[in-house]
Structure 1
Amino acid sequence: MTQPSPSPATEAAHVAGAPDPAPAGRRRRRFALPNTYAILVALTAVVWALGFVVPAGQYDLVDGAPVPGSYHHVEVDASFGDRVLDLFQAPVNGLYGVEDPGSGFVGPYESGSLTGAAGVFLFVLAIGAFIVTTTRTGAVDAGIGRVAARFRDRGAAVIVALMVLITLGGSTFGLGEETLGFYAILIPLLLSLGFDRMTAVGVVLVGSVVGNMASTVNPFMTGAASDAAGIPIGQGIGLRALLLVVFGGLAIAYVVRYSVRVRRDPSRSVVGISAEDAELAAGVDTGSLVMSGRQKVVITLFAATFAFMVFALVPWAQVVHGPGAASYGWQLDWYFPELTALFLVMAVVIGLVGRMRGEALVGSVLAGASEFLGAALVIVLARGITVVMHNALITDTVLHALEGLVSGAGGGAFGVLVYLVNVPMSFLVPSSSGLATLAMPVLAPLADFAGVGRDLVVTAFQCAVGTVALVTPTSAIVMGGLSLAKVPYGRYVRWVLPLLAVLVVGSFATLMLAALL
C-alpha cells in the first residue's frame, strides 16, 4: 500500500531540525540535552560536590613544576559556608582568577594560582566589535559575495583551503580561541555555498583542535610539554608531522564528506537549515565580482590585522631554537591583553576608513561587543569549573591516582596508558600549557623506566588533549564556538563522535607502534 507523502510543513520542520509532529491524541516525548549554559552550571555543581568526596592533596613544587613522589594530603582551609560561597562565585572567579590558599598570591597557574578568563572574555568582545564594524562598512558582504560567486560550483575546495590554513595555524602557533572571530565571517559564506552551520563548526573548531592535537612546534602545546619533560621541542617532530598529515587529512575528509551530503540534500543537515539561515545566505550577493576601492582597503586592513595577530603571538626564538631561548629583538610575544587592544584600535580605524563617524562608529563597536557577549559568558562559566576544582585542591589528587596507572608499564602499552591518564586531566585542566606544566614533570620520567623516549610522552599528551578538546564542555573553543555558530552542544557531540572514534583508534595505533620501533 502506498504511504501518503509528508506535508510541506512536515518536510520544512524536518529540514529545520524540528521533531516530526506527533499523531493526534498522543504526545511524543523526546530527550534533548539542555542548553550550553545549563550544562555548564550543572557541571559546576557536580565538580563542587566531588570536592567533598575526593581527598584534597598537593604536590610540592619546584619552579612551578610538581616533584614526582612528593604528593601529600592536605586540608582545605575553608568552612562549609565559604565553600558554598565558592560555588556561587565560580563564574566570578572564572572571570578574575583565584587566589591560592597557601600563598595568597594571584598570578599564573604555574605559580600556584589560577588565572581567570578575563583576557579571553575581553578579547572575544573586542573581536565582536572588530567584525561587526567591518561588516557594517559593506566590505565583508562584498568580499564574501566575490568568493561565493567564484567558487559557486567548488564549495568543497573552499572548505579544504580553509581547513588546511586553520589546521596549520593550530599546529604551528596554537590557533585556538582566536578562531572565535572566524564564525561571523565564514557562516554566511558557507551558507551561501549550500552548506550549513555545522560545516562552519567543522571547518573552524575541528580544524583548529586537530591542528593543536598534531602540533609540531606550537609553543603553547609542544613547547610547554617538551620544556616540562626536559627535552628539545624538535625531539619527536617527525612523528608529530606525520600525525598532522594523517589526522588533518582525516578531519578534512570528514567535514567535506558531510558538507557535500548537506549540499545535495539539505534534509541531511544535523542542525537543519532555518529560515534565518536561508535569509542570511540569500543576503550574500553572488552576482557581482566588483569591489570598490574603499572596500578593498577595508578588506586589506581586516586581513592584515589577523596576519599581524599571528606574527605577534608566535615566540619565534623558541620555535627556532627550542624552549628557554632568548627572545629576538623584533619578537612581540603578545597575548590576549595586547590583542584586545589591537582589535579595538583596528575596529575604530576600519570604521573611519568606512566613513563611520561619531555615534555610528561608537554604536557599531558596542553592538559588536553585545553580539559576542553570550559566547564570552560561556567561556567564563567553563573556566569557573576549573577554578572550583582548584579551590577544592583535588586536581593534584586526580593526577596522583592516575600516575600510579602508568608506573611500571613498558613497551607499546606505555604510550596508550599515558594517553588514557591525560584524558581525564584534559577535561579537568582545559589549558594545554597549564596541564603540561602540571603533568609532564610527573609522567615524563616514567618513560625512562619504560625504555621509551620522553618525546613519546609529549605526543601521547598532545593526542589526549586534542581528542578531549573536540568535545569537552570546559573548553572555551568548543562552547564559545558553538554558541557563536548557534549549534546545540548535544547535536555537535553526536555529529563529531565518529571522527573522535577514528582519532582515538589512530592515536592508540600510532603510540603503540612508536613505542615498539
Structure 2
Amino acid sequence: MNGEKKNKKEKRFEFPTAFTVLFIILILAAILTYIVPAGFYSKLQYDSEQDIFLIENHQGEISTLPATQKTLNSLNIRMSINKFTDGSIKKPIAIPDTYQRIQQSPQGPLAVIMSPIEGIMDTVDIMVFVLILGGIIGLVNKTGTFDAGIAALSKRTKGKEFLLVVFVVALIALGGTTFGLAEETIALYPILMPVFIASGYDAIVCIAAIYMGSSIGSMYSTVNPFSVVIASNAAGISFNEGLTFRIISLILATIITLLYIYRYAKKVKRDPKNSLIYEDMGKIEERFLKDYDPENVAPFNWRRILILVIFLGAFPFMIWGVSKGGWWFPEMATLFLAVAIIIILLSGLSEKEAINTFINGAADLVGVALIIGIARAINIVMDNGMISDTLLYYASSIIRNMNGGIFAAVQMILFSFLGFFIPSSSGLATLSMPIMAPLADTVGVSRDIVVTAYNWGQGWMAFITPTGLILATLEMVDVTYNKWIKFILPLMGIIGVFSIVMLVIQTLL
C-alpha cells in the first residue's frame, strides 16, 4: 500500500519544459493561420539612393512615387517627409485605409516542422553570443573568481542584501528605458544567480530583479530609440511629447515592482519553504554553488581581481556599443570572444584545460540558444500566414469613435494582444502607428497617448510572452514557466491597473 502511494507521488504532474511549451504555441499559431483571414496593408518604404518612395500592394506589385510631403499627404500618412530622409524611419510602414483580404496562406505540418530550423538560422547571431558567453562563464568559474567575489561581496552586504536587488533593478531599468536593454541581460544571470542564492534568496528573486528591471524599463521607455522614438516618428510627433509623464510613470512603476519583490524576498529569507521553487532549490544550488564553500574560498588575489575587472568591464563597453556605436549581436559576440581570450591568458590554465572549459561552458547554454531559435519560429509561422495585418485591422476597427479615456485603456489592451503576435518593438511601431495614431485625432486626444499605450501594452505582455525572452531566461536558471506565472501574475495585474489609470489621467491633462 505504501509502495503504491509512493509511486503515485513520484508520478505527480510535472509542468512541461520550455521546449514543449514553445512547440504547443507553435502549433496553435499554425492553427490560427487557418482560422484568421489573411490580409495585407500596402507598405511604403523610402529608397534613399533614388530618393523615391517604394509602394508594395497586396499583390506584391512594387510602384514608385516621388519622395515628397505631398505624396505622404495624399496617402493620408500624417508625418513629416524629414522622418524618412533623415533615416528616422527605415522600415516599411503600413499605409492607412489600404487593408485588403488576400488568399489564405495556412501553415501546414511541413511549415511547422521547418520553422524551428528557419528560426535558428534567423537568430544565429544571438545564439553565437549566448554560446560565447557560456564559455566565458565556464572559464571564470574554473579560476575560482566567482566564488572569491561572492565571498567578498557577502561580507560587505551582510544584513543589507536587498540593496543589491534595488541596485540591479534600478540600473537595468535605466538601460531598458534609454536603449531597450533586454537580450543583453542574458549575460547577467550566471553572474548574479550565485550572489543572490548565497545572500539567502531564491532564483525567482534573481530573475525578478534582472528580468523585471529590463521589462519595466523597456515598458516605460522614455528615450529608447528602438520603441518610443520609432513609434513617435511613425505617429508623426516628437518623442518629447509625453516624455515628462512617461518619466513619472517609470519611477512609480519601478517602486511598485521593488516593493513587490521585497515582499516576496523577505518571506523567502525568513523561511526558504515560502519559496515558490523550494523543491527545486537543491538542484539550482548544486548548479550555481556546487564549488562554493564560504568557509573554504580561494583568496581574492590580484589574478582573480583582474579577471573579474576585465569580465565586468566588458558590460559598460557593450552598453556603449549598443547605445552609441550601432552594435548588435555580432559585435557583442566579438567583444566577449576577445575577453575570453584575455581570460584564458590570465587564468593560469593549460591550453587543453582552458579550451575544454570554454567548450563545456558553451555546452551548458546550448538549450538556451535553441529556445531563442524556436521562439523565433512562432513569429515566422505567423508572418508567413499573413495574419498580422488582419489582427491590426480588427484592432483599429474596435477603437474608432470611443471616449478618450476608454480609447486609451482599450488601446493598451489591444497593443498587449498585438505584442504577443508581433514581439518586435520597432516592427510593431512601424506597422501600427500610421494606422492607430490618426484614430487619436478622431476622439480628440493627443497622439502621444497612442505611443504610450503601444509602449505600455507591448511591454506589459512581455512579462509572460513565451515568444519573448522569458523562456530562455527560465531555462538558464532551471525554473519552470508555471512557477514564474504564479509569481508574476499578481504584479502583472497591479502594473496593468496602474498603467490604465495613468493613461486615463494622461488623457485629462
Q: Is the 1:448–1:454 contact (alpha carbons within 8 Å) kept by the matching residues of 2?
A: yes
Please give the per-residue CA displacement for 1:62-112, whole angstroms capped at 9, x wherever unaligned. 1100011111011256xx8x843211111011123xxxxxxxxxxxxxxxx
Q: Is the 1:192–1:282 contact (alpha carbons within 8 Å) kept by the matching residues of 2?
A: no
Q: Is the 1:211–1:244 contact (alpha carbons within 8 Å) kept by the matching residues of 2?
A: yes
CA distance in 2, matches of 1:351, 1:148: 27
* 1:180 corresponds to 2:208: no
Q: 1:478 aligns with which of 458, 470, 476?
A: 470
Q: Is the 1:460–1:511 contact (alpha carbons within 8 Å) kept by the matching residues of 2?
A: yes
Unaligned runs of 5+ in 1: 1-20, 97-115, 316-331
Please give the per-residue CA displacement for 1:31-51, whole angstroms capped at 9, x wherever unaligned. 553221111101111111111
Once the two structures are TM-superposed, the CA of residue 176 in structure 1 deviates from its matched residue by 0.4
Match of 2:71 in 1: none
Q: 1:365 aligns with which of 358, 365, 369?
A: 358
Q: Is the 1:65–1:438 contact (alpha carbons within 8 Å) kept by the matching residues of 2?
A: yes
Match of 2:89 in 1: none
Q: Is the 1:172–1:218 contact (alpha carbons within 8 Å) kept by the matching residues of 2?
A: yes
Provide the secondary structure at the position in 1 that maps to 2:159: coil
Q: 1:255 aligns with which of 261, 266, 282?
A: 261
**2:282 is aligned with what amino acid?**
A
Q: Is the 1:91–1:380 contact (alpha carbons within 8 Å) kept by the matching residues of 2?
A: yes
Q: 1:433 aligns with which of 426, 436, 442?
A: 426
* 1:464 corresponds to 2:457: yes
Please give the per-residue CA displacement for 1:293-339, whole angstroms capped at 9, x wherever unaligned. 11111111111101100000014xxxxxxxxxxxxxxxx21011111
* 1:57 corresponds to 2:43: no
Provide the secondary structure at the position in 2 that maps to 1:231: coil
Match of 1:122 in 2: 128
CA distance in 2, matches of 1:308, 1:172: 16
Please give the per-residue CA displacement for 1:258-298, whole angstroms capped at 9, x wherever unaligned. 11110110000000153334444474454679521111111
CA distance in 2, matches of 1:405, 1:456: 17
**1:65 is aligned with what amino acid?**
I
Match of 2:119 in 1: 94
CA distance in 2, matches of 1:270, 1:214: 28
Q: Is the 1:351–1:361 contact (alpha carbons within 8 Å) kept by the matching residues of 2?
A: yes
CA distance in 2, matches of 1:442, 1:459: 15
**1:513 is aligned with what amino acid?**
I
Say if 1:482 and 1:22 are closer, same or farther in 2 by CA, change over 3 A: farther
**1:53 is aligned with what amino acid?**
I
Q: 1:511 aligns with which of 493, 503, 508?
A: 503
Q: 1:68 aligns with which of 86, 93, 96?
A: 96
Once the two structures are TM-superposed, the CA of residue 30 in structure 1 deviates from its matched residue by 5.6
* 1:387 corresponds to 2:362: no
Q: Is the 2:132–2:337 contact (alpha carbons within 8 Å) kept by the matching residues of 1?
A: yes
CA distance in 1, matches of 2:143, 2:400: 60
Once the two structures are TM-superposed, the CA of residue 361 in structure 1 deviates from its matched residue by 2.4
CA distance in 1, matches of 2:461, 2:38: 25
Q: Which moved more, 1:135-144 or 1:192-201?
A: 135-144
Match of 1:292 in 2: 301
Give me the identity figure in percent.
33
Q: Is the 1:192–1:284 contact (alpha carbons within 8 Å) kept by the matching residues of 2?
A: no
Q: 2:282 aligns with which of 254, 259, 275?
A: 275
**2:117 is aligned with what amino acid?**
V
**2:452 is aligned with what amino acid?**
T
Q: 2:165 aligns with which of 155, 159, 162?
A: 159
Q: Is the 1:200–1:485 contact (alpha carbons within 8 Å) kept by the matching residues of 2?
A: no
Matched residue count: 458
Say if 1:456 and 1:478 are closer, same or farther in 2 by CA, change over 3 A: same
Say if 1:40 and 1:277 are closer, same or farther in 2 by CA, change over 3 A: closer
**1:344 is aligned with what amino acid?**
L
**1:59 is aligned with what amino acid?**
Y
Q: Is the 1:170–1:210 contact (alpha carbons within 8 Å) kept by the matching residues of 2?
A: yes
* 1:410 corresponds to 2:403: yes
Q: How does 1:320-335 map to 2 (within 5 A)?
A: 332-335=325-328
Q: Which moved more, 1:439-448 or 1:260-269?
A: 439-448
* 1:206 corresponds to 2:205: no
Unaligned runs of 5+ in 2: 46-91
**1:275 is aligned with what amino acid?**
G
Q: Which moved more, 1:288-297 or 1:195-204?
A: 288-297
What is the TM-score with the length of structure 2 in the denominator? 0.86
Q: Is the 2:228–2:451 contact (alpha carbons within 8 Å) kept by the matching residues of 1?
A: yes
Provide the secondary structure at the position in 1 that maps to 2:35: coil
Say if 1:161 and 1:40 are closer, same or farther in 2 by CA, change over 3 A: same
Q: Is the 1:399–1:425 contact (alpha carbons within 8 Å) kept by the matching residues of 2?
A: yes
* 1:144 corresponds to 2:172: no
